[in-house]
Structure 1
Amino acid sequence: MTKKKLAYHLQDIHHYYGNTKVLDINDLKIEKGSITGLIGPNGSGKSTLLKLLAFARKPTRGHIFYKGNLELPFSPTVRSKVTLLTQKPYLLKRTVFENIAYGLKIRKDKTHLKERVKKALLNVGLDYQKFAHRKWHELSGGEAQRVAMAARLILKPEVLLLDEPIASVDTESAELIRKASLKARDNWGATLVIASHDLQWLYSISDKQLSIFKGNIFSTGMENIITGPFVKSDEKTNKKNLVKKLDDGQIITLKAPAPKTCTAIIRKKNISIALEKQPDNGILNQLSGHIVSMLLEKQTEHIMAFISIHDLSFVLRLTSDQISSLDLYPGKKVVLQFSSNDVEWL
């Protein structure tokens, strides 16, 4: 089997803001030419990770290898190869044409400039005649985001890092950005890492998803997070367990955590799905809920099912056989089952 080449290899990354740890990554590899989706709540560390990958910031501890070489922030060897599009795009106080052409002019690459700018605008769904001579302040938020995207695509970077690229755009623009991103990978082999809260859009574009919570990376994608408050079990047989009581009367039983931990993780692989609760089956947790949505995971062709348990959200990776045998679909009532011993604590 041919060994896949790496764009990035992160080792023993620990990053702090003051005394607060925001990233804790033991080992992370991102393959060249892949599209990786970053999933996580606000403040989880997604934007910080993108800044480290862009070599715009040095990790407090650890090493970042790019194409096998240890690199530092603003290294000349990566400066023109890696580009980051932030959630709030920064545009120069110039016309759209000048914003998009700026990077090429810095490189003193002015051949066929008009045609290249026109193509870059077309790739993000903006008409050259209509937008090329507009000033930066005459653009809507979505238009500014697409202009910023075009300014990066025209440079044909080896790595394109996107932080919430469709947060302020409409559905049509989001689809254009998706197609432009895929073209960057297909046409010149760009590696993409994309953070987005829009899971349906992210799953439609990415080969693999990484989930980040409290700076910790889950390479298996989204995992199930249960936050406190927790109370000690009042059952004599389960004195060492904790419970979380939901407002609808359901109770989640979890093994007691290590000191100073307050967030429980239940991995997808440790949860089973059924249509009814099973009596006396030894499973401590049987939670009733309903399927909210289902997404196709491109790389594995599994289905990601998002399930609402009162005010909690769970995610499972299901096979087509499971979907068919249980006749699962959005809105269907289901029961999730898992053992208290399968909990991990952060």
Structure 2
Amino acid sequence: MNRKTLIYEVQDLKKVYNKRNVLQIGRLQIHKGTIYGIVGPVGSGKTSLLKQLSGLEKQTEGKLLYDGQEFKISFLGKVKSPDEIKFLTFTSSRKNESVSRYFSSNHGKRSEEIRKHYFNKGFRRFMWEQAIESLSQGELTWVKLVDAVESDPRVLIIDNYGSMLDEELEQEISSRLRRMNRNLGTTIILSATNPARIQKLVSVMIFLDKGHIAKIRSGSQNKRPQRKQGYQQQRRRYRN
């Protein structure tokens, strides 16, 4: 196994909440530039695993390496999550802001370029000046995904993928994620209760059951197409 291709390595990881063991992973390796799906029923440990990988929580026992190193711990004992890991949540504490102000605050002068690229067609033209609190769940998902793409993360983690999306928007977002992975080399990790929802998008599917890995299978997205020049590649960073 070429460890240079690994971005995560998990060994004997255990997570305990209130004396209850919710996650126990003997061994797991996640490779750079690949799309993974974490699949399992409610309570199987999907969200707990994603929180460990994102650095939002510290494991109770075991080893979790990111790029060959353990996450740094603050003097208060909390994990210091790298900025290059983006855990996508579909809530916002900035509900009174307009979408335009949200992107201006996060991306500065590039917000106008973002507007032209993502908010210039159909109903999205009218989203730009709307308050975030007035957006539907699907529209908020779009805003958050655009923000994540433009933040250029090395790792993008999305919990409960597609649960709030209609079929058309889900297809468009899936297309954007494939392009992000192809053009930028982003490692993407999604979770879902229904494997059919993400099977065509991911290259590797990891099935969880009661906090354990039950099996690992190939997804449908096994072959990566040739990279094409485009807007995203103009911002590409060297990721390896």
Would the alpha carbon gap of residues 183 and 126 (structure 1) be closer, same or farther in structure 2, given more than 3 Å must change?
Answer: farther
- Residue 175, structure 1, aligned to residue 175, structure 2: no
Query: How do 1:114-153 residues align onto structure 2 when only pairs under 5 Å count?
Result: 114-121=112-119, 129-153=125-149
Once the two structures are overlaid, the 10-residue window that deviates more, 62-71 or 22-31, is 62-71
> For the structure 1 residues 47 and 2, does the alpha-carbon distance in structure 2 shift closer, same or farther, using more than 3 Å as the test?
closer
Q: Find the aligned partners of 1:10 and 1:65 in 2 and give their Cα distance.
A: 6
Match in the other structure for 2:98: 95
Amino acid at match of 2:91: P
1:136 offset after TM fit, Å?
Answer: 1.1
Equivalent of 1:205 in 201, 207, 223: 201
Offset of 1:298 from its aligned partner? 4.0
What letter corresponds to residue 68 of structure 2 in structure 1?
G
How many Å separate the matches in 2 of 1:206 and 1:193?
9
Going from structure 1 to structure 2, the CA distance change for 1:298 and 1:179 (only over 3 Å counts) comes to closer
Q: Does 1:185 align with 2:181?
A: yes
- Residues 220, 138 of structure 1: alpha-carbon distance in 2 compared, 3 angstrom cutoff: same
Structure having greater relative contact order (Cα 8 Å, sep ≥ 6)? 2
Match of 1:14 in 2: 14
Structure 1 pair 98–165 and aligned structure 2 pair: CA distance change class (3 A):
farther
CA distance in 2, matches of 1:160, 1:213: 23
Segments of structure 1 that go 5 or more residues without pairing to the other structure are 105-109, 223-295, 301-346
Query: Residues 58-99 of structure 1, C-alpha deviation per residue, up to 9 Å, x if partnerless?
Result: 1111222111121145526x1x2001113x433522111223
Counterpart contact for 2:36–2:203, Cα < 8 Å = yes
The TM-score normalised by the length of structure 1 is: 0.58
Structure with greater helix percent: 2
Give the aligned CA root-mean-square deviation in angstroms: 2.4
Find the aligned partners of 1:217 and 1:165 in 2 and give their Cα distance.
19
Query: 1:166, 1:102 → 2: CA distance?
Result: 27
SS state at 1:42 partner = coil
Tell me the SS of whatever aligns to 2:199.
helix
Residues 27/102 of structure 1: CA separation in 2 closer, same or farther (3 Å cut): farther
State the percentage of identical aligned residues: 25
Aligned counterparts of 1:180 and 1:58: Cα–Cα separation in 2: 31
> Could you list the runs of 4 or more consecutive aligned residues of structure 1 that deviate by over 4 angstroms after TM superposition?
1-4, 125-128
2:201 and 2:11 mapped to 1: Cα distance? Answer: 27
Letter matched to residue 106 of structure 2: G
Deviations 1:257-312 (A, max 9, x none): xxxxxxxxxxxxxxxxxxxxxxxxxxxxxxxxxxxxxxx74439xxxxxxxxxxxx
Aligned residues: 217
Asked if the contact 1:36–1:208 (Cα under 8 Å) also holds between the matched residues in 2, the reply is yes
Query: Which structure has greater strand proportion?
Result: 1
Structure 1, residues 210-256: CA drift from partner, whole Å, max 9, x if none?
A: 0011100134249xxxxxxxxxxxxxxxxxxxxxxxxxxxxxxxxxx
Distance, in Å, in 1 between the alignment partners of 2:57 and 2:171 is 31
CA distance change for structure 1 residues 140 and 28 in 2, over 3 Å: closer, same or farther? Answer: same
Letter in 1 for 2:148: R
Partner of 2:54: 54
Q: Per-residue deviation at 1:165? A: 2.6
Q: Structure 2-normalised TM-score?
A: 0.81
Q: What is the rounded CA distance, in whole Å, between the counterparts of 1:215 and 1:126 in structure 2?
A: 43
Larger radius of gyration: 1
Tell me, yes or no, if the aligned pair for 1:36 and 1:192 is still in contact at 8 Å.
yes
- Gapped regions of structure 2 (runs ≥ 5): 73-77, 224-240
Amino acid at match of 1:84: F
